[in-house]
Amino acid sequence: MLRCRSLIHRHVGRQAQKSSPKPPLVTYKVAMGSYSSVQFCGIPQGKGPHTVGCTDLMSDHTIQGSFLRLFYPCVDGEEYEEAVWIPKREYYLGLADTLKLNRTIVDFIFSYYFGSVKCPAKMNAPFKPGDKYPLVIFSHGLGAFRTLYSAICIGLASQGIVVAAVEHRDESASATFYLRERSSADSCENDVDCEALEEVWLYNKSPKPGADEFPLRFEQVQKRADECLQALDLMLDINAGKPVTNALSSNFDWSLLKDSIDDQKAAVAGHSFGAATAIKALGRDSRFRCGVALDAWMYSLRDEIFSTIHQPVLFVNSEKFQWVDNVLLMKKMDSTRVERKMITIKGSVHQSFPDFTFLTGYLIGKIFKLKGEIDPYVGMDLIINVTLAFLQRHLGLQKDFNQWDPLIEGEGEFVIPGTNLDLPPRHTQASK
């Protein structure tokens, strides 16, 4: 029984709120060469003052290297195209496996509906130097991958935050890949277009039927935390001016990041299994000054981890996903010495955090439970704004994000302090 699917599971599809204007409807040209008749609003633009760029980095072609998509303030320029949202069809196959659906059918449907969807970030646009930006390492949920939280990452980057969205290689992603040298049997001596390295794909691993799920998830969260720390090391090395080896073909100039990241202002965040990963990473590395756990799935964490975490943590929960035992694990992190906060977004569901909620209409959203009762654009604004307020408070940012401080306290039309669930009496007070 998986409680953290970051893809097409669990949620009620209905719009309810009217307080946030939506971008115009878009008709996307699909990969098969015709135009999809399906219209949807699309992944939202960032609302901050910065144009957002993104680029992919594979620091080593082997499975030991870091693999991430970086979102960052960029130099504006019309010559840079927006990034493809799902960059390779193998991700569709991984989504099919994760959902236990037929690969051919899912490949067709996803290619048709999402094959040419782009996110509002300019691929490989030059980094915008001249400031010291805070850094957030972001961890995706089970069955997701590095691009499926583009709305959150773009929203933060538009406000002047560098976000490194890690793609995990612990077999918790729906799909990911690394590169290996071609064997002699596969050599391409007579093919001038042949690449020396070939892709090796890894797909989501599930426990065997009837087996205890905990050992697998416990092992994965260790690996995931390692990858977050590795990404932090990599980004700080880049900031220090160390040369970058990228196994992926790219003309991005990494030297522009030198001295552009504030190494004293790093945080870690994630959704679902990624939120548990963020908590695990906090306990492993004090360079992370605070953490944001979005609709955390706490299953993989043992109790002893909680006593090792000394940084502030914000829990942002959906109304429909959480259950009492899971919230009680979050409450074990309550502290009188350091700020621990929990809020719940009314009308939200687990899929209010990834991007699919923006890319389906009412009917599909209802069938696949991708939408909650809250308008997805209103929900995303709340997620981004409360995160920004918490980062300003605990990273010492000199911004105006404190305008959203009431959200941290659960004050506002669409938020409540603590949880909507009925907890045992001694746990009923919201996290302080």
Q: What are 96's two structure tokens?
A: 């099919």
Q: Which of 56, 97, 170, 295 is catalytic?
A: 295
Q: Which residues, in sequence order, are bridge partners of residue 27?
A: 39
Q: Are 323 and 296 in contact (CB under 8 A)?
A: no
Concerning whether 272 is annotated as a catalytic residue, the answer is: yes
**How many C-beta atoms lie closer than 10 Å to residue 45's C-beta?**
16
Cβ-count burial of 84 within 10 angstroms (0-12 exposed, 13-18 middle, 19+ buried)?
A: middle
Mark 192-227 as b/e (b = at least 16 C-beta within 10 Å).
eeeeeeeeeebbbebeeeeeeeeebbeebbeebbbb
The helix (H) or strand (E) run that includes residue 417 is strand 415-417
DSSP E strands in 59-193: the ranges are 67-73, 82-84, 118-123, 133-139, 162-166, 175-181
End-to-end CA distance of the chain: 32
Q: How far apart are the C-alpha atoms of 139 and 148, rounded to whole Å?
A: 11
Q: Which of 350, 352, 355, 431 is catalytic?
A: 350
Concerning whether 350 is annotated as a catalytic residue, the answer is: yes
Task: State CA 238 to chain mean position distance.
Answer: 22
Q: How far apart are the C-alpha atoms of 392 and 389, rounded to whole Å?
A: 5
Question: Cβ contacts of residue 195 below 8 Å, gap of 6+?
Answer: 182, 188
Pairing of strands 133-139, 118-123: unpaired
Helix (H, G, I), strand (E, B) or coil at 17: coil
Task: State CA 71 to chain mean position distance.
Answer: 11
CA nearest 239: which of 210, 214, 260, 270? 260
Helix 150-157 and helix 376-395: axis angle, to 10°?
50
Q: What are 43's two structure tokens?
A: 């992944």
Q: How far apart are the C-alpha atoms of 13 and 11, rounded to whole Å?
A: 6
Active-site amino acid positions: 272, 295, 350
